Amino acid sequence: MKKYTYSAKPEDNKQKWYVVDAADMVLGRLASELAARLRGKHNPLFTPHTDQGDWIVVVNADKIRLTGRKWDQKCYYSHSGYIGGLKCVTAKKLLEKRPEDLVRHAVKGMLPKTKVGYKLYKKLKVYAGPVHPHEAQQPEALSIAK
């Protein structure tokens, strides 16, 4: 009898849409669950080099929580490419300006830095308020422990 490991193909994935309410959830714990779902680690057919994940819609990103003093101490850096062009934006200012980016940065850091990882990142949709334009996909509610 020949024994082998089954390697899942992209067409084996039955992609589902899920909606997650991020109100009063801790950012890091939410992001790690979302990254695992996007990769497809919940799927028994998980294969690292293929896209086995689901589509995720995150609503209420403006009501996310951070623990400790991270609102003032956590910095998001960007560089213009010029000398002295390093900029730092605290989490509190980023929440006021673009609250969706808090969740996006956290999840993107937990995904692989490969072609597959960049493809998975595009399957994450984040919205600051409670409404989203993906009702046609009939997303199911996904409950994640707080």
| Domains within the chain, CATH numbers bracketed | 15-63+92-141 (3.90.1180.10)
Does the pLDDT value for residue 41 go beyond 90?
Answer: yes
Residue 11 is predicted with a pLDDT of 86
Across residues 64-83, what is the average pLDDT?
Answer: 96
Residue 1 is predicted with a pLDDT of 62
Residue 145 is predicted with a pLDDT of 81
Across residues 56-80, what is the average pLDDT?
Answer: 96
Mean of all residue pLDDT scores within the chain:
94
Q: Any alpha helices (H) in the chain, and if so which ranges?
A: 27-39, 70-73, 91-97, 100-110, 115-121
Across residues 36-42, what is the average pLDDT?
Answer: 95
Phi then psi for 81, rounded to 5 degrees? 100, -15
Residue 90 is predicted with a pLDDT of 97
Across residues 65-83, what is the average pLDDT?
Answer: 96
Q: Is residue 79 within a helix (H) or strand (E), and if so which, with residue range?
A: strand 75-79
